[in-house]
């Protein structure tokens, strides 16, 4: 359950009060298998309840320039979050199918939960601070965000290089430059001031028009996080592949013409000299329905899912929803 109450004051501050309740009950067996490796194999019933209260304040300062054809925004952002400390979920016989990675970047800086799913949740007393800026003029855009997180409890849920190994987090930042509507450049990262190393870095390039569009990217991390659970880390620690840095490049092309669209993409790990995934999509849509055929080949083993090829047929009715068939 989630309740939001936005309000503002005469100073121009925009506030958001959030009250949230997450409750989960599991009945699971085979907990000794990947990615949990618990020592029990019996059926277990577990669960948790997590109430969360958060208050966020945005205070945008804005002015016009370039003879009224541009605007500048400087926006401090502050957020306080209060919730019970979740402790170390890895010892509580709680399954984990969707939260193998903790994602602390600029895009999740003000999120109540930074895990990729809901099998693991953020708890404890914490605060987030940041500054957002935007310059827009005559079709040009420069946008940035920089910030940090402060936490009372440093839990053991997160694997190494999460950016939250200390009370004061590693700073995160993003900058986006778009000189025109055909080109977009984005760079984001997270820097560890204690190790004096870059914990996470990503660059994205997007160029083209709807009839032909190209995107490319590069990502770096000191480890390969989705290999942490490849072997029984409780007995032997993570596998050697986990210790290899992530150096991945990605590329994709897409096209759309009237009701038809198609795309293809690839990801390749430079450090491991192998593809991570390949895929493509072809589809048709109109005002009533849409049909997409997707093919994805996965080369890595992630959370118990071995290398495989998947074909998906998605049929979308605009007033009902999407129905998928896994081939």
One digit per residue, the tens of pLDDT, for the chain of length 327 reads 999 999 999 999 999 999 999 999 999 998 888 888 888 878 889 988 999 999 999 999 999 987 778 999 999 999 999 999 887 777 788 888 888 888 899 999 999 999 888 898 888 899 999 999 999 998 899 999 999 999 887 765 566 788 888 889 999 999 999 999 999 999 999 999 988 989 999 999 999 998 999 999 999 999 887 788 888 888 888 888 888 889 999 999 999 998 999 999 999 999 888 898 999 999 999 988 899 999 999 887 665 566 788 899 988 887 777 777 766
pLDDT value at residue 221: 92
Residue for token pair 């409750």:
23
Nearest to 176 by CA among 210, 131, 213, 145: 145
Whether residue 97 is contained in a domain is answered as yes
The pTM of the full predicted model, rounded to 2 decimals, is: 0.85
Determine the structural domain holding residue 140 and report its residue range: 1-168
pLDDT value at residue 284: 94
Whether residue 287 is contained in a domain is answered as no
pLDDT value at residue 62: 94
Q: Where are the beta strands (DSSP E) in the chain?
A: 2-8, 14-28, 44-58, 61-65, 70-82, 126-137, 140-151, 172-180, 183-192, 197-209, 212-221, 246-257, 260-269, 274-285, 289-298, 308-317, 321-326
Whether residue 240 is contained in a domain is answered as no
Whether residue 17 is contained in a domain is answered as yes
Calculate the CA dihedral of residues 94, 96, 101, 105 and round it to 10 degrees: -70
Whether residue 234 is contained in a domain is answered as no
Burial level of 89, CB count in 10 A (0-12/13-18/19+)? Answer: buried
Whether residue 9 is contained in a domain is answered as yes
d(CA 186, CA 177): 6
160 alpha carbon, distance to own chain's centre: 17
User: Is the separation of the CB atoms in 220 and 188 below 8 Å?
Assistant: no
d(CA 15, CA 11): 11
**Domain count within the chain:** 1
CB atoms within 10 A of CB 132: 18
Whether residue 74 is contained in a domain is answered as yes
Whether residue 91 is contained in a domain is answered as yes
pLDDT value at residue 33: 87
d(CA 46, CA 26): 5
pLDDT value at residue 71: 94
pLDDT value at residue 304: 53
Which tokens belong to 230?
């490849």
Burial level of 9, CB count in 10 A (0-12/13-18/19+)? Answer: exposed
d(CA 123, CA 113): 8
């Amino acid at each position: 359950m989630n309740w939001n109450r936005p309000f503002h004051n005469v100073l121009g501050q925009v506030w958001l009060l959030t009250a949230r309740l997450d409750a989960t009950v599991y009945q699971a067996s085979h907990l000794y298998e990947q990615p949990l490796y618990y020592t029990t194999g019996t059926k277990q019933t577990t669960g948790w309840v997590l109430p969360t209260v958060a208050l966020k304040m945005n205070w945008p300062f804005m002015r016009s320039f370039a003879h009224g054809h541009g605007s500048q925004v400087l926006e401090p952002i502050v957020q306080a979050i209060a919730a019970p400390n979740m402790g170390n979920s890895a010892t509580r016989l709680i399954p984990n199918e969707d939260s193998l990675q903790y994602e602390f970047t600029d895009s999740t800086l003000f999120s109540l939960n930074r895990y990729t799913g809901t099998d693991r949740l953020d708890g404890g007393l914490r605060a987030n601070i940041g500054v957002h800026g935007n310059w827009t003029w005559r079709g040009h855009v420069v946008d940035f965000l920089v910030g940090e997180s402060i936490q009372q409890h440093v839990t053991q849920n997160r694997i190494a290089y999460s950016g939250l190994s200390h009370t004061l987090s590693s700073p995160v930042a993003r900058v986006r430059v778009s000189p025109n509507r055909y080109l977009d450049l984005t760079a984001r990262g997270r820097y560890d001031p204690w190790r004096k190393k870059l914990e996470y870095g990503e660059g994205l390039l997007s160029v083209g028009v709807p009839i032909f569009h190209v995107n490319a990217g590069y990502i770096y991390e000191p480890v390969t996080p989705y290999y942490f659970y490849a072997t029984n880390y409780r007995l032997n620690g993570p596998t050697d592949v986990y210790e290899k840095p992530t150096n991945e490049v990605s590329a994709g092309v897409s096209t759309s013409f009237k009701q038809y669209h198609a795309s293809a993409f690839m990801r390749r790990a430079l450090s491991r000299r192998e593809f991570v995934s390949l895929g493509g999509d072809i589809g048709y849509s109109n005002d009533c329905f849409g049909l997409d055929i997707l093919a994805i080949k996965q080369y890595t083993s992630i959370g118990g899912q071995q290398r495989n090829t998947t074909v998906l047929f998605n049929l979308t009715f605009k007033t009902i929803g999407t129905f998928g068939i896994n081939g």
